[in-house]
C-alpha cells in the first residue's frame, strides 16, 4: 500500500550502473529479501509489504526498468528474461550472491524467471500472481491491454487515465466490460487510488513492454525447468488466483497454495523465507568509471526526510549552481532553464519539499526559512564548499533565506520572476492560488490540475480569467508540455494549499532587506509579474535588474 509520507525507516537510494540508474527502497536488517512490484506501479506500492518483512529481513525493493524512478532500458524486447537479467545486474552490483525473492504480478513473473535462470542465487521464491497463458486469451490481451494515452489540447487524456485504472479494479482484463469479466473487489477511495495514477504517469508507452513480457511468459514450460524452491501463492479474489491450477504438472520444488487474503499470503511467505534464509545481507555499490549518463538522480537525507535532486557535472574549477523551481513545478522545469545559463557549471536541480519526487516531508510548515534549513542540511552532505543559487518564482524567498544560512556559503543569487506581494495582494492571492487537487471519485481533480497549468500560461492570476489579466507573451501550451507540468502539479497535490499559504503568502520584505550577497534579478516580459521583480529590485540593495525576452529560447543568464 502506498503511503502519503514515506516511513523514515524505509530509505530511498539510486544505484548507478554503466548506462542507467536503478531506484530502490530498502529497510530492515537480516537476510536479504528482494521485493518486486507489479506494472504499471513502482516499489512505492509495496511500502506496507516492505515494512512487514523488514522485521526479519533486509528488504530491497527496486523499481523495474521504466517504472517509478528507474531508467528504462532502450531496446528491451517483450521478454521477461531480459527483465530478470536487468534485476540480476542490479543484485550483482549490490554484491549479493544469495537471497530470497517475493514478487507480485509482473514482479512475480520476473521472480519466477530469476528462480529458473539463477538457481544458485535464489534460495526461495514466492510468486504471488503467476499468469498462466491460454493462447486466445493472450492474443486478446496483447491487442488491447497496453493501450496508451496521447496528451491533447483539451486534456482528454486525464479522464482516460483515471478510467483506465478504475476499470482495472472492476474488470479483468480491464478493457472487457462483460459480466463474465467482472471482479468481486471493493473500489478504493480516490485518495488511495491517486498514487497508482501518478505511477502510471511516471512511466511511458515504451515501458509497457513489461506488460507484454509478463503476458507472453511461457509459464507452462518454464515452471517445469525450476530447480529452486518456488511457491506459487495466491489469494482468493485475485484475478490470477486460479491460474496456477492451469499447470498440468509441476516439479517437486514447486508448491501451489491458494490462501484467503493478501495478509495470509504475506504471513505464509514470511514462514517460507525464514525457513530458507541463511545469510545476512552485506551490501556494496559499484564504482562506475565511463559513466554515460548526463544527469544523475539522488536523495540527500535530512532529519526531516529525503530531498530529491538531479545533478550534472561541470567543467573543473567552475561554480556549483543550485536550481530551485517555481510553485507547483519540479526540477524538470529548472533543467530546461539551465540551458540558458552561460558557462558549463556543476548543476544541482532540487525538487522542493512538497513537490516532485521529494513530496511530503516532516516539515511543520513551508515558510522560506523552514525549507531553506532543510535544503542546507541536505546540500551539506554533497561536499559543497560554496554555491550560487538560481531561483524561479516563489522559490526566490527560499533562496534569500538560504543565503543567510550558516550551514552552507552562498556566493550569489539569481532570481527569475521573484514574487513580492503588496498588502492587497497578500489578502486574496495566496488563498485562491492553489488549485483544488483533492482526489475525486471520477477523477475531476486531474482536469483541474491540467486547467491550472494551461490557464497559468494564459492569465495571471490563472483563476481570474478576465481579458485584462491575459498575458502578453506567447502562450506555451503544447499538449505534451502542459501534460508534463500538470503531472508535476498533481504530484504536489493538496499540499499546494499549504505551500501557497506559507510561501506565496509570506511577507518577504524583511528577508529581502537582509540579503548581502550579489543578486541579479530577471523579469520575464509579458509574464504578468514584472511588477513583483521591480519591487524586489527596489528592496534588495546593490541588485541588478534585466528583462528576459518573451521567447525563452532567446534567454541568456549569467553568473
> What tens digit of pLDDT does each residue of 40-93 get?
999 999 999 999 999 999 999 999 999 999 999 999 999 999 999 999 999 999
Helix (H) or strand (E) holding 309: strand 305-312
Task: Count CA within 13 A, CB hemisphere, residue 449.
Answer: 30
In this structure, what C-alpha cell is assigned to residue 262? 493478501
Cα(528)–Cα(550) distance, integer angstroms: 11
pLDDT at residue 284, as a whole number: 74
Q: Strand, helix or coil at 4?
A: coil
pLDDT at residue 408, as a whole number: 92
Helix (H) or strand (E) holding 410: strand 409-416
Q: How far is CA 12 from the centre of its chain?
A: 11
Compute how many other C-beta atoms are within 10 angstroms of the C-beta atom of residue 423. Answer: 7
223 by Cβ neighbours in 10 Å (0-12 / 13-18 / 19+) ranks as buried
pLDDT band at 427 (very low <50, low <70, confident <90, very high): very high
Cα(155)–Cα(508) distance, integer angstroms: 36
- For the ranges 294-298, 467-471, 531-535, which has the lowest average pLDDT? 294-298
Nearest Cα residue to 253 out of 121, 104, 116: 116
Q: Is the pLDDT of residue 283 over 60?
A: yes
Question: Which residues sit opposite 122 in a β-bridge?
Answer: 99
CB 238 within 8 A of CB 245: no
pLDDT at residue 287, as a whole number: 57
In this structure, what C-alpha cell is assigned to residue 16? 548507478
Q: Residue range 284-295: average pLDDT?
A: 66
Contacting residues for 349 by C-beta, under 8 A, at least 6 apart: 295, 309, 310, 311, 312, 323, 325, 331, 334, 335, 338
Q: What is the pTM for the complete model shown? A: 0.94
pLDDT at residue 290, as a whole number: 46
Cα(380)–Cα(557) distance, integer angstroms: 26
What is the torsion angle, in degrees rounded to the nearest 10, for the CA atoms of residue 81, residue 83, residue 88 and residue 89?
A: 120
In this structure, what C-alpha cell is assigned to residue 266? 504475506
Question: Which residues sit opposite 62 in a β-bridge?
Answer: 24
CB 38 within 8 A of CB 107: yes
Compute how many other C-beta atoms are within 10 angstroms of the C-beta atom of residue 78. Answer: 18
Cα(72)–Cα(74) distance, integer angstroms: 6
pLDDT digits (tens, 9 = 90+) for 369-423: 999 999 999 999 998 889 999 999 999 999 999 999 999 999 999 999 999 999 9
Cα(392)–Cα(330) distance, integer angstroms: 11
Cα(458)–Cα(527) distance, integer angstroms: 9
Q: What letter would DSSP give residue 45?
A: G
In this structure, what C-alpha cell is assigned to residue 21? 540508474
- Phi then psi for residue 558, to 5 deg, are -120, 140
Q: How far is CA 122 from the centre of its chain?
A: 29
In this structure, what C-alpha cell is assigned to residue 5? 509520507
Cα(49)–Cα(32) distance, integer angstroms: 14
34 by Cβ neighbours in 10 Å (0-12 / 13-18 / 19+) ranks as buried
Instruction: Say what angle helices 444-456 and 479-492 make with each other, to 10 degrees.
Output: 120
Q: Is the pLDDT of residue 305 over 50?
A: yes
Cα(57)–Cα(280) distance, integer angstroms: 8
pLDDT digits (tens, 9 = 90+) for 84-108: 999 999 999 999 999 999 999 999 9
Q: Is the pLDDT of residue 8 over 80?
A: no
pLDDT digits (tens, 9 = 90+) for 202-226: 999 999 999 999 999 999 999 999 9
Cα(84)–Cα(110) distance, integer angstroms: 5
Q: How far is CA 29 from the centre of its chain?
A: 26
Q: How far is CA 282 from the centre of its chain?
A: 27
Q: What letter would DSSP give residue 119?
A: T
Cα(419)–Cα(422) distance, integer angstroms: 10
Q: Strand, helix or coil at 68?
A: coil
pLDDT band at 344 (very low <50, low <70, confident <90, very high): confident
- Measure Cα distances from 283 to 30, 31, 60, 120, 302 in Å: 11, 11, 10, 18, 22
What is the torsion angle, in degrees rounded to the nearest 10, for the CA atoms of residue 117, residue 120, residue 126 and residue 128?
A: -10
In this structure, what C-alpha cell is assigned to residue 529? 509579474
CB 110 within 8 A of CB 83: yes
pLDDT digits (tens, 9 = 90+) for 149-184: 999 999 999 999 999 999 999 999 899 999 998 998
Task: Tell me what percent of the residues of the chain surpass a pLDDT of 70.
Answer: 97
Cα(90)–Cα(96) distance, integer angstroms: 9
Cα(43)–Cα(221) distance, integer angstroms: 29
Contacting residues for 485 by C-beta, under 8 A, at least 6 apart: 329, 332, 333, 453
Mean pLDDT of the chain: 93
Amino acid at each position: 500500500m502506498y503511503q502519503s509520507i514515506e516511513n523514515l525507516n524505509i530509505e530511498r537510494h539510486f544505484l548507478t550502473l554503466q548506462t542507467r540508474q536503478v531506484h530502490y527502497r530498502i529497510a530492515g536488517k537480516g537476510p536479504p529479501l528482494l521485493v518486486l512490484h507489479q506494472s504499471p506501479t513502482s516499489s512505492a506500492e509495496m511500502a506496507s509489504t516492505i515494512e512487514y518483512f523488514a522485521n526479519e529481513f533486509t528488504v530491497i525493493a527496486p523499481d523495474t526498468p521504466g517504472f517509478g524512478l528507474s531508467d528504462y532500458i532502450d531496446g528491451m524486447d517483450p521478454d521477461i528474461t531480459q527483465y530478470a537479467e536487468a534485476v540480476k545486474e542490479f543484485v550483482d552490483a549490490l554484491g549479493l550472491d544469495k537471497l530470497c525473492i517475493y514478487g507480485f504480478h509482473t514482479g512475480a513473473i520476473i521472480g519466477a524467471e530469476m528462480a529458473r535462470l539463477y538457481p544458485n542465487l535464489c534460495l526461495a521464491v514466492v510468486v504471488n500472481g503467476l499468469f498462466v497463458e491460454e493462447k486466445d486469451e493472450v492474443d486478446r490481451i496483447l491487442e488491447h491491454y497496453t493501450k496508451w494515452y496521447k496528451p491533447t489540447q483539451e486534456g482528454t487524456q486525464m479522464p482516460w487515465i483515471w478510467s483506465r485504472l478504475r476499470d482495472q479494479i472492476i474488470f479483468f482484463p480491464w478493457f472487457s466490460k462483460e459480466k463474465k469479466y467482472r471482479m468481486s473487489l471493493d473500489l478504493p477511495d480516490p485518495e488511495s487510488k491517486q498514487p497508482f495514477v501518478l505511477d502510471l504517469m511516471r512511466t511511458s508507452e515504451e515501458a509497457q513492454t513489461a506488460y507484454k513480457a509478463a503476458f507472453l511468459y511461457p509459464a507452462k514450460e518454464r515452471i517445469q525447468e525450476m530447480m529452486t524452491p518456488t511457491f506459487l501463492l495466491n489469494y482468493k479474489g485475485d484475478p490470477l488466483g486460479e491460474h496456477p491450477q492451469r499447470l498440468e504438472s509441476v516439479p517437486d520444488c514447486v508448491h501451489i497454495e491458494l490462501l484467503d487474503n493478501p495478509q495470509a499470503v504475506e504471513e505464509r511467505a514470511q514462514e517460507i523465507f525464514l525457513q530458507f534464509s541463511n545469510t545476512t545481507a552485506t551490501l556494496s555499490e559499484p564504482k562506475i568509471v565511463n559513466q554515460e549518463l548526463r544527469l544523475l538522480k539522488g536523495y540527500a537525507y535530512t532529519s526531516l526526510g529525503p530531498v530529491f535532486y538531479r545533478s550534472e557535472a561541470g567543467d573543473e574549477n567552475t561554480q556549483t549552481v543550485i536550481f530551485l523551481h517555481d510553485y507547483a513545478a519540479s526540477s524538470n522545469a529548472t533543467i530546461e532553464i539551465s540551458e540558458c545559463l552561460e558557462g558549463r557549471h556543476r548543476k544541482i536541480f532540487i525538487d522542493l519539499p512538497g513537490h516532485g519526487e521529494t513530496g511530503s516531508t516532516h516539515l511543520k510548515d513551508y515558510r522560506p526559512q523552514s525549507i531553506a534549513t532543510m535544503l542546507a542540511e541536505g546540500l551539506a552532505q554533497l561536499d559543497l564548499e560554496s554555491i550560487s543559487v538560481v531561483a524561479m518564482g516563489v522559490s526566490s524567498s527560499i533562496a534569500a533565506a538560504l543565503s543567510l544560512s550558516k550551514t552552507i556559503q552562498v556566493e550569489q543569487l539569481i532570481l527569475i520572476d521573484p514574487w513580492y506581494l503588496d498588502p492587497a495582494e497578500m489578502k486574496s492571492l495566496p488563498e485562491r492560488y492553489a488549485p483544488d487537487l483533492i482526489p475525486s471519485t471520477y477523477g475531476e481533480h486531474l482536469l483541474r490540475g491540467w486547467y491550472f497549468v494551461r490557464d497559468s500560461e494564459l492569465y495571471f492570476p490563472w483563476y481570474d480569467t478576465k481579458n485584462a489579466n491575459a498575458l502578453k507573451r506567447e502562450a506555451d501550451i503544447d499538449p505534451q508540455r502542459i501534460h508534463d507540468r500538470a503531472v508535476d502539479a498533481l504530484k504536489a497535490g493538496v499540499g499546494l494549499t499549504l505551500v501557497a499559504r506559507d510561501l506565496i503568502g509570506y511577507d518577504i520584505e524583511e528577508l529581502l532587506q537582509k540579503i548581502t550577497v550579489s543578486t541579479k534579478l530577471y523579469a520575464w516580459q509579458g509574464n504578468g509579474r514584472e511588477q513583483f521583480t521591480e519591487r524586489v529590485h527596489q528592496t534588495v540593495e546593490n541588485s541588478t535588474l534585466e528583462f528576459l525576452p518573451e521567447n525563452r529560447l532567446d534567454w541568456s543568464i549569467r553568473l
